[in-house]
Amino acid sequence: MKVQEINRQIREKSIENIINKRDRKKNKKPLQAYAASWANEDRLYDCVGYTIFIVLPTSGCEWATKSGGCTMCSYISDSPLMDISENDLVEIFNNEWNKQLDKVDISAYDNVAIKLFVSGSFLNVNEIPEKVQEYIFKEFNKYDQIKEVIVESKPEYIDESSLKRLASIIPNKIFEIGIGLETSNEDTRLNKINKGITNKSFEKAVSTINSVDEYDIRAKAYLLVKPILISEKQAIQEAIDSASYAKEVGVKRLAYCPATVHGGTMMDSLWKKGSYNPPWIWSTVEIIKEVRKNVDIPMIMDTAGFGTRRGPFNCKKCNAKLKSLIIKSNLEQEISEELENFTCECKEKWEADLEFSDILNTTTNPKN
Ligand code: SF4
Ligand SMILES: [Zn+2]
């Protein structure tokens, strides 16, 4: 059976379980409880600044509900899986936005970025209607300190008129659209991640973004470190190759997401059967070194899940230290000497894993 079919079955089962579980609960979770927001120091294009993150609930990523979605993604289980009215969406946004504005005085910062996550595509009007998109952008435009507004979208929703319509509301800010490229290897993307994005559609979306001269609209690529069904060594190579490809195509910034195993996904199902392991943290260090050396666009390596049972791992002695060195590297956009020369006794195991996983063509680590 093809990966897409197995993935679809796993997703359908998972959605059914979520709905049944929710139906059994007496006290239904209010819509607002699906939203979240937080803020912290973060790397902007030109400097270290302050970033406000907002997660808005939607009816759910259409790609996941209709096709089974991506084999590592569990966002659908964080979605209310129901239609949400425009008024409700605006109210939910206002609550989260005001929460952040109450916490911090934006005017005290020179450089603020907003990262707006909708667990799907912000530019898909079935997920976020135009009116709501515009309302949110108008709120952001009230603050000159906000320099960057970042949303996410699949390529099929990226067209010139939507880009101009939204960019014209925030004319003096960088408007960035993050696209889940995941890898430059089309076979991996289509047949192992089930992303539904061809190289051609990605390239077209980036070229549309770069073709709008009158506003500062930029494309970011999200890259997945270690999809299912590829070896650790191949995963490192694909991650490195993907950076050069994205830059060549016209992407202005990269964000690597090393895999963490989320429940209800095909990745989870393989992991439980012993047929998948998340990447070593050493692999992410290798990627950082190569990409910082060879690809001169900003790049960050997400460290969420590092050192956890389901996330990227090394050993208990070095997980936390390496995580903090990688966060430092994200902020400074450099590799410190400490990170460059860092070593630990577990490094030899990683090297052996790389060699054997390649010889045996296995997606797990031989010690397992
Ligand atoms: S990664 Fe994005 S496109 Fe894929 S299923 Fe998740 S939300 Fe949808
Ligand atoms: Zn170690």
Locate the domains of the chain by residue range: 3-359
Q: How far is the CA of 230 from the centre of ligand 1 (A)?
A: 20
Reading the block at residue 169, the tokens are 């509301």
* 286 vs 270: CA distance, rounded Å: 25
Is residue 368 over pLDDT 50? Answer: no
Across 226-231, average pLDDT: 96
* Span 188-218, pLDDT tens digits: 999 999 999 999 999 999 999 999 999 999 9
| Residue 294 confidence (pLDDT) | 95
* Span 302-339, pLDDT tens digits: 999 999 999 999 999 999 999 999 999 999 999 999 99
Residue 254 near residue 291 (C-beta atoms within 8 A): yes
264 lines ligand 1 (CB under 6 A): no
Reading the block at residue 218, the tokens are 């930029």
Across 103-120, average pLDDT: 92
Cα separation values, 214 from 164, 203, 268, 300, Å: 9, 20, 44, 28
Candidate from 61, 67, 77 with most ligand 1 atoms within 8 A of CB, to mutate: 61
Alpha-carbon Rg for the chain, nearest whole angstrom, is: 20
| Residue 136 confidence (pLDDT) | 98
| Residue 1 confidence (pLDDT) | 62
Give the list of residues 6+ apart from residue 119 with CB closer than 8 angstroms, or none: 55, 57, 58, 60, 61, 75, 76, 78, 79
Give the DSSP per-residue string, 217-274. EEEEEEEEES-TTS-HHHHHHHHHHHHHHHHHHT--EEEEEE----TTSHHHHHHHTT
Is residue 174 over pLDDT 80? Answer: yes
What does residue 188 show for φ and ψ, rounded to 5 degrees?
-60, -45
- b (16+ CB within 10 A) / e for 231-258: bbbbbbbbbbebbebbbebebbbbbbbb
Of the two residues 13 and 178, the one the predictor is more confident about is 178
| Residue 366 confidence (pLDDT) | 53
* 192 vs 224: CA distance, rounded Å: 12
Is residue 364 over pLDDT 80? Answer: no
Q: How far is the CA of 262 from the centre of ligand 2 (A)?
A: 24
| Residue 361 confidence (pLDDT) | 61
For domain 3-359, the CATH superfamily is Aldolase class I (3.20.20.70)
Is residue 41 over pLDDT 80? Answer: yes
**Least confident range of 85-89, 240-244, 358-362:** 358-362
**Least confident range of 118-127, 246-255, 356-365:** 356-365
Round the average pLDDT of the chain to a whole number and report it: 94
**Least confident range of 126-140, 159-173, 349-363:** 349-363
Of the two residues 282 and 3, the one the predictor is more confident about is 282
- Report the nearest atom of ligand 1 relative to the CA of 61: 8
93 lines ligand 1 (CB under 6 A): no
| Residue 278 confidence (pLDDT) | 97
CA angle 159, 243, 64 (to 5 degrees): 50
| Entry field: residues in the chain | 368
Q: Give the three-class secondary structure for 53.
A: strand
* Span 276-291, pLDDT tens digits: 999 999 999 999 999 9
119 lines ligand 1 (CB under 6 A): yes
Give the residue whose CA is nearest to atom 2 of ligand 1.
Answer: 120
Give the list of residues 6+ apart from residue 193 with CB closer than 8 angstroms, or none: 70, 71, 72, 182, 183, 224, 227, 228
120 lines ligand 1 (CB under 6 A): yes
How many percent of the chain have pLDDT more than 70? 97
61 lines ligand 1 (CB under 6 A): yes
* DSSP symbol at 190: I
* Span 25-40, pLDDT tens digits: 777 788 899 999 999 9
Of the two residues 57 and 358, the one the predictor is more confident about is 57
Nearest alpha-carbon partner for 252 in 309, 315, 199, 209: 209
